[in-house]
């Protein structure tokens, strides 16, 4: 069991570039989440997916889109990256309340 995996681990983008962060889980969880973590601000929910085929906005969705490709995979897309999106991004999954996190993607937008 790999748990929750994320790719890439690190990424540097220029302002205006686009990219997709990938997340996959092998725990057969229904719910999946994308968070961003900024210093002194904890983890803030970007988007979540309660089950395959459904997605909904969280606290800070602007500038992002998501796709729940199947039960295992939940991707986060930045269409036109901005310096304000420099952050560490965590994917998580859950079957009940307990959420399991991936290792994170450190994204820098120049």
Smallest separation (angstroms) from other proteins to the CB of 95: 10
Task: Tell me whether residue 13 or residue 47 sits nearer to other proteins (CB atom).
Answer: 47
Q: How far apart are CA 12 and CA 28, in angstroms?
A: 31
Task: Tell me whether residue 31 or residue 87 sits nearer to other proteins (CB atom).
Answer: 31
Smallest separation (angstroms) from other proteins to the CB of 42: 4
Place of tokens 């962060």: 21
| CB atoms inside a 10 Å sphere around CB 84 | 10
Smallest separation (angstroms) from other proteins to the CB of 69: 21
Smallest separation (angstroms) from other proteins to the CB of 101: 4
Helix, strand, coil percent values for the chain (each to nearest 5): 5, 55, 45
DSSP 64-97: EEEEE-SSSBEEEEESS--GGG-EEEEEEEESSS
Sites of contact with other proteins (CB under 8 A)? 31, 33, 40-45, 48, 50, 58-59, 90, 94, 96-104
């Amino acid at each position: 069991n790999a748990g929750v995996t994320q790719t890439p681990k690190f990424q540097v983008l220029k302002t205006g570039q686009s990219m997709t962060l990938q997340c996959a889980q092998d725990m057969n969880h229904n719910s999946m989440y994308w968070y961003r973590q900024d210093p002194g601000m904890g983890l803030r929910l970007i988007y979540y997916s309660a089950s395959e085929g459904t997605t909904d906005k969280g606290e800070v969705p602007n500038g992002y889109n998501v796709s729940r490709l199947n039960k295992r995979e939940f991707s986060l897309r930045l269409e036109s990256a901005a310096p304000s999106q420099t952050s560490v991004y965590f994917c998580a999954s859950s079957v009940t309340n307990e959420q399991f996190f991936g290792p994170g993607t450190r994204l820098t937008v120049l």
